[in-house]
Structure 1
């Protein structure tokens, strides 16, 4: 047990911050995959990869949803917009590369940066990426052009939306176009749209078409005249309330993603993580707004707190957060901690194989979906804040970890450095981090990541294998020096908030074009882990010390 950080934290905690848990609205990571917030751990358009993203509304009410694509290094937005799902609606899109064409932004043509493609029923037969998608309203429009929005197009007429220029990040990280081409996605339900209301009429499909996407676009533009729908400025003008007539989020969303590589015949699909009971208030914000975000978790109107519900070893740990507002400070917790600690793992486990006989390549994606709120001092000062220990700089925000590799015969290898060696030892520096196994320098072999870390599980001397761990499993200890801030009810969690998966590619040397077969296989397994919380038994008996 890790008593020293806890003892220090509890000594600094004031009894007056002890809160009462609002169990009825405690945010939780829903194991059934349905909720108010969806986190898609990874997208990539590198090395011939495309990424498909979909979201499903399982309810009889329309939804206003914030869609946000975040780059891998510092979770800065590369594309965000509002999505309006009709009842029982599905929206799907692909992240790919654009055409090498004139008119691309400075810093490279569209073929060098990610773009979003949304197929409509009219053009699915021309799309190699998407089988079909509803004509669902987005603001700004992503699948069409409008009176106010002109998107670029492929040669076949399909509209695409380029990810924003990397110079817009304005942080200490590299000003590199590669930052656009890998990352993760979050979707946050802003509000439930009640049946029969004005907004519902704009969103609901009639004969396969929504009632008024242009109306929604005009509603988010300011002005008293010049519109064509009669609703110019309905949401955006001074004195207007964009939440008027809307209800708090009610959940019922699920989604999935898939990284596909047509040339390799590979398809790595995953389910989005789902947060349920995230918010009890409507928060319908303008397209492009950085709110709502994961720090807007709440127990309901006027509470100022957020409650987390975490399952540990068969017990339910309910903790209250928010003594320091949304993100808190270096000593006082914030509401963001409620989200962080439903994701927090003390130890993370998964398997790997790099068997030469199989032509196998293994990569882990480790995404830290709340890290920016703790390490990005430009947006969320002060930084760093626990459980993270470094602020984001030119080399990222590098966190120390300990890695133990086991083969399938119970032997183990303690990894003491990454390859190439890092002067700080074992560190994860980015917010969507690819970890490769036994790969040379350069982009990773499966996801094509340009920001990978690599570990060698083969010990060689003079080119001769001395100890070979080609396959087995790995234990990453995330709890070393990583203790959370103290909750209002004096709980402390260990580890880091993380999600992700293991992706494996296998090449069958006995198959392939010469044999008339596809010779490549792909698979994906979600990470597993253990959680650790320590507290005061008299205050919260389910977080035992």
Structure 2
């Protein structure tokens, strides 16, 4: 399988140090050595500061460049942050790394299309990453985009980004003296040392399975404090869109921001489950393609070993389903537990971001060459349903035990008959209005499906109004003719009679052109409005 420079650098380090298969880690609640883990649920942060940042869309299609900024607003503690880029079609991991922010630090990076068409990440930022990002940038990973007839390069150029605070690095005002980890990642005259031996010890060789070991290495449980921004710029078309991340905070039962579980795992290609079934990946992720043990159908209710579609590596962890606010549990072959903890963790996060309707504006006024794209991103869908490219089949996780009903099932999802390898779920309906109270309900025609009800196909889909394409989307793209030149619309996402909603975030991107602009003066404007919603 083809791997990119970042993945190869990881593999080289593992091989060079003789650590292949030797890495280990665990989910660790703080108790006495680290700040107690008192987070029990999630909520969307209206103030934009929290533990998890979700960038609803990045694109390097059609000459676009996507830039992200990650800010540590905590001026006392450094942050260990997992950054993962996922593809638009099926949420495939196409690049991930560990970012280390010192107190008050900001990291920036830009995604563009490389010469071979594969997306690449570049940064001139001095903050430590593990592995270090080369000065010329790093290409996105294509090894998991192996489906026949798939445009692999295009599938790296669109998607969304998940950013997770996995641990804190307390400063000397907390610990009394600066730890080796804090010193290695703290800026000195604008540049952190990024001491390689310290980073290797903590993010490659780490074997943190106890609270004492993690605390002794200079870690604390994650307290949040992250904020994020993004923008998409197209220089040839002189258009820019910008926005802030959807930010989720881990809270206690009273809604106060709290400390979550320590979830630092090695940035290593070593398999989580080496085949001996002593360490099951299902204890750490709800990703159904990585399930290495499944519960049998009654009366056979115990867990049995299975061969996963994707053998999880330690760099796959943590993801957004790794137990963060729920108690970590451990299942074993023959165990009678009903649901692995990651499934409940994913359900808790989905509950926080699920919506029952989406509202936004559009414009296709020809006098100003207006064009509109709506982006719909479902960052937790992967933990309920994914596509096994071998056979183009849906694979499901078990339903959560008590936190909510499953939102993606064999009954309400289907494989697209237009674009292979994309799971779809229908909206319950939609209405479009002009600006003068005139409306049309469920009468618009969506292409390429030619249906009158919109289907959310792919993890991150883009709906273009009329014939224009603002973002140049190619992976999970469709279009609609709303019947009006300007107005607003509603997408009903109740998700059936249970009204449990769908975990959708996103925005409206509107492009306008001033044809009367003087020569040499840009007359192209970009406007982005985040989706409004009801819960």
Asked if TM exceeds 0.5, the reply is: yes
Where does residue 162 of structure 1 map in the other structure? 139
1:282 and 2:262 correspond: yes
1:527 and 2:528 correspond: no
Equivalent pairs counted in the alignment come to: 414
1:370 to 380, 389, 392: 380
Where does residue 226 of structure 2 map in the other structure? 253
1:438 and 2:445 correspond: no
- What are the within-5 Å matches in structure 2 for residues 488-503 of structure 1? 494-503=500-509
Where does residue 422 of structure 2 map in the other structure? 396
Instruction: Give the Å deviation of 1:206.
Output: 1.5
SS in 2 for 1:345: coil
User: Structure 1 residues 448 and 169 mapped into 2: Cα distance closer, same or farther (>3 Å)?
Assistant: closer
1:361 and 2:367 correspond: no
User: Structure 1 residues 423 and 285 mapped into 2: Cα distance closer, same or farther (>3 Å)?
Assistant: same
1:197 and 2:220 correspond: no
SS in 2 for 1:68: strand
Instruction: Give the Å deviation of 1:451.
Output: 2.6
User: Structure 1 residues 375 and 221 mapped into 2: Cα distance closer, same or farther (>3 Å)?
Assistant: closer
User: Structure 1 residues 93 and 24 mapped into 2: Cα distance closer, same or farther (>3 Å)?
Assistant: closer
1:207 and 2:189 correspond: yes
SS in 1 for 2:447: coil
1:295 and 2:321 correspond: yes
1:455 to 480, 486, 493: 480
| Contact kept? 2:322, 2:345, Cα under 8 Å | yes
User: Structure 1 residues 424 and 265 mapped into 2: Cα distance closer, same or farther (>3 Å)?
Assistant: closer
SS in 2 for 1:199: helix
| Contact kept? 1:428, 1:453, Cα under 8 Å | no
User: Structure 1 residues 381 and 475 mapped into 2: Cα distance closer, same or farther (>3 Å)?
Assistant: same
1:114 and 2:119 correspond: yes
Alpha-carbon distance between aligned partners in 2 of 1:392 and 1:384, rounded to the nearest angstrom: 19
| Contact kept? 1:346, 1:530, Cα under 8 Å | yes
Where does residue 124 of structure 1 map in the other structure? none
Where does residue 59 of structure 2 map in the other structure? 44
Structure 1 residue runs of 5 or longer lacking an equivalent are: 1-21, 101-108, 120-132, 145-157, 223-232, 305-321, 329-333, 459-468, 484-492, 532-545
User: Structure 1 residues 371 and 302 mapped into 2: Cα distance closer, same or farther (>3 Å)?
Assistant: closer
1:174 to 129, 132, 150: 150
| Contact kept? 2:460, 2:476, Cα under 8 Å | no
User: Structure 1 residues 395 and 378 mapped into 2: Cα distance closer, same or farther (>3 Å)?
Assistant: closer
Where does residue 93 of structure 1 map in the other structure? 109
Instruction: Give the Å deviation of 1:302.
Output: 5.3
Where does residue 311 of structure 2 map in the other structure? none
Structure 2 residue runs of 5 or longer lacking an equivalent are: 1-36, 172-177, 252-258, 269-314, 331-336, 400-405
Alpha-carbon distance between aligned partners in 2 of 1:235 and 1:204, rounded to the nearest angstrom: 23
SS in 1 for 2:316: coil
How well do the aligned residues superpose, as a CA RMSD in angstroms?
3.0
Alpha-carbon distance between aligned partners in 1 of 2:323 and 2:44, rounded to the nearest angstrom: 13
Alpha-carbon distance between aligned partners in 2 of 1:358 and 1:384, rounded to the nearest angstrom: 50
1:407 and 2:457 correspond: no
**Over residues 73-131 of structure 1, what are the superposed CA-to-partner deviations in whole Å (9 max), with x where a residue is unaligned?**
11111110000111111100100122x3xxxxxxxx2xx11100101xxxxxxxxxxxx
- What are the within-5 Å matches in structure 2 for residues 279-358 of structure 1? 280-287=260-267, 289-299=315-325, 324-328=339-343, 334-358=344-368
| Contact kept? 2:444, 2:480, Cα under 8 Å | no
Instruction: Give the Å deviation of 1:457.
Output: 1.9
User: Structure 1 residues 28 and 191 mapped into 2: Cα distance closer, same or farther (>3 Å)?
Assistant: same
User: Structure 1 residues 75 and 88 mapped into 2: Cα distance closer, same or farther (>3 Å)?
Assistant: same
Instruction: Give the Å deviation of 1:298.
Output: 3.6
Alpha-carbon distance between aligned partners in 2 of 1:33 and 1:200, rounded to the nearest angstrom: 26
Instruction: Give the Å deviation of 1:438.
Output: 0.5
Alpha-carbon distance between aligned partners in 1 of 2:56 and 2:316, rounded to the nearest angstrom: 19
**Over residues 130-163 of structure 1, what are the superposed CA-to-partner deviations in whole Å (9 max), with x where a residue is unaligned?**
xxx3x11101111x4xxxxxxxxxxxxx421000
SS in 2 for 1:446: coil
| Contact kept? 2:360, 2:531, Cα under 8 Å | yes
SS in 2 for 1:94: strand
Instruction: Give the Å deviation of 1:281.
Output: 1.3
Instruction: Give the Å deviation of 1:303.
Output: 7.9
- What are the within-5 Å matches in structure 2 for residues 456-475 of structure 1? 456-458=481-483, 469-475=484-490
Alpha-carbon distance between aligned partners in 2 of 1:356 and 1:71, rounded to the nearest angstrom: 33
Instruction: Give the Å deviation of 1:425.
Output: 4.9
Alpha-carbon distance between aligned partners in 1 of 2:358 and 2:38, rounded to the nearest angstrom: 27
Instruction: Give the Å deviation of 1:63.
Output: 0.8
| Contact kept? 1:84, 1:138, Cα under 8 Å | yes
SS in 2 for 1:339: helix
Moved more, 280-289 or 22-31: 22-31
Instruction: Give the Å deviation of 1:296.
Output: 2.3
**Over residues 34-55 of structure 1, what are the superposed CA-to-partner deviations in whole Å (9 max), with x where a residue is unaligned?**
0011101111111111011110
User: Structure 1 residues 79 and 240 mapped into 2: Cα distance closer, same or farther (>3 Å)?
Assistant: farther
